[in-house]
C-alpha cells in the first residue's frame, strides 16, 4: 500500500479568484454526518478528529454545505477547527433543502439563499465565507436571479467568492454574465466524464474544477484496469482514481470525504501518487 503519511502539498496548488491559494487535494465534509447525510454522526469526536487530522496533513480547502445533516457538517467544522488556522479556506453551498432523510429539494430563490448564507455564517462562526457555491440550478427560479442574490451577498462582504455546482457549460456562462465565478463543482471521475466541456472551460479560464463522486470509477472497474495500476504502485484503487483526477487537469481540486481517520490518510496519500503517461492514457481509454 502506498504511504499514508504523504502531505496534501504533494498535489500542488491552485489559486481561487486570484488570491486564495489552496492545495489541490481538499476534504469534502459531507460524510462526517449521520447515515444518509442526515443527522449527527454516530461518533461525533471521531468526526472532529478527521477534520483536525486533515488540517495536520496539509489540507487547506474544506468543502461543505448547509444541507449536509442538515447544518451538522458546518457545526462540526466550527467545533473542531475554530479559531481557524491561517490559510484554511472554507467553502459551503446553499440552495438545497432537506425535508427528510434521503430527500433533497432545490430552493434557489433569492430569499432562501440569503437566509441560507446567514445561517452558514453563523454556524461556521465567520464574518465572511471564502467560497459560497450555488448547490444546484433550480428549474423554478431563473438562474440569473439565484446568482444575482449571490452577487449581492458578495457586494455586501458576506462572501468573498462565488462558485457553482451541478451546472452545464451554458449555465456556467449565464452565471458568469452576472457575477465572477471562481469554481465549478460537478460529478466527475475517470468513469464519468460528462462534464469534460465544463472542466475544459474551467482550465481555459482559470477556474477551479471540484469533482465529486470519484468512487464511481472504482465501482465500475469492470476490466480491472484500476486494480492493475493500483497493484503496480502498491496503492489502493481509490488512490489511483484520485491520482487520475489530479493528472487530468491543473484546474482539478478533488475533495474526497470520509468519516474515518484511516481512510482520510489513505486519500491524502494519493497526492503523492504519480501515474505514468501510459497508465493515464490506458485508464482514460478504458472508460
Q: Give the count of alpha carbons within 13 A of 45, CB side only.
A: 0
Hey, which residues are catalytic here? 68
Task: Report whether 189 contacts 217 (CB < 8 A).
Answer: yes
CA–CA dist 82, 93 (Å, integer): 19
Cell of 270: 494519493
Give one DSSP letter per residue of 16-32, joined into a string: ETTTEEEES--EETTTT
CA–CA dist 209, 164 (Å, integer): 10
CA–CA dist 256, 207 (Å, integer): 19
Burial tier of 216 (Cβ tally within 10 Å: 0-12, 13-18, 19+): middle
Positive or negative, the CA dihedral 184, 187, 190, 194 is negative
Task: Report whether 159 contacts 125 (CB < 8 A).
Answer: no
Amino acid at each position: 500500500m502506498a504511504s499514508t503519511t504523504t502531505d496534501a502539498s504533494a498535489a500542488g496548488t491552485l489559486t481561487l479568484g486570484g488570491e486564495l491559494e489552496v492545495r489541490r487535494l481538499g476534504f469534502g465534509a459531507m460524510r462526517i454526518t449521520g447515515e444518509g447525510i442526515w443527522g449527527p454522526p454516530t461518533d461525533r469526536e471521531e468526526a472532529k478528529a478527521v477534520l483536525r487530522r486533515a488540517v495536520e496533513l496539509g489540507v487547506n480547502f474544506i468543502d461543505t454545505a448547509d444541507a449536509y445533516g442538515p447544518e451538522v457538517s458546518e457545526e462540526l467544522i466550527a467545533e473542531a477547527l475554530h479559531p481557524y488556522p491561517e490559510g484554511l479556506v472554507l467553502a459551503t453551498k446553499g440552495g438545497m433543502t432537506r425535508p427528510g432523510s434521503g430527500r433533497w429539494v432545490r430552493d434557489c430563490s433569492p430569499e432562501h439563499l440569503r437566509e441560507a448564507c446567514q445561517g452558514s455564517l453563523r454556524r461556521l462562526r465567520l464574518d465572511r465565507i471564502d467560497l459560497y457555491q450555488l448547490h444546484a440550478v433550480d428549474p423554478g427560479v431563473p438562474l440569473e436571479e439565484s446568482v444575482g442574490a449571490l452577487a449581492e451577498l458578495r457586494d455586501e462582504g458576506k462572501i468573498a467568492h462565488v462558485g457553482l455546482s451541478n451546472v452545464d457549460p451554458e449555465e456556467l456562462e449565464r452565471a458568469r454574465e452576472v457575477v465572477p465565478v471562481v469554481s465549478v463543482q460537478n460529478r466527475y471521475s475517470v468513469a464519468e466524464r460528462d462534464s469534460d466541456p465544463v472542466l475544459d472551460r474551467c482550465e481555459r479560464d482559470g477556474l477551479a474544477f471540484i469533482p465529486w463522486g470519484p468512487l464511481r470509477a472504482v465501482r465500475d472497474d469492470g476490466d480491472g484496469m484500476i486494480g492493475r495500476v493500483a497493484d503496480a504502485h502498491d496503492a489502493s484503487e481509490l488512490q489511483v482514481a484520485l491520482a487520475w483526477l489530479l493528472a487530468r487537469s491543473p484546474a482539478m481540486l478533488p475533495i474526497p470525504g470520509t468519516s474515518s481517520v484511516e481512510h482520510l490518510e489513505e486519500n491524502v496519500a494519493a497526492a503523492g501518487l504519480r501515474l505514468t503517461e501510459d497508465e493515464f492514457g490506458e485508464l482514460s481509454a478504458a472508460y
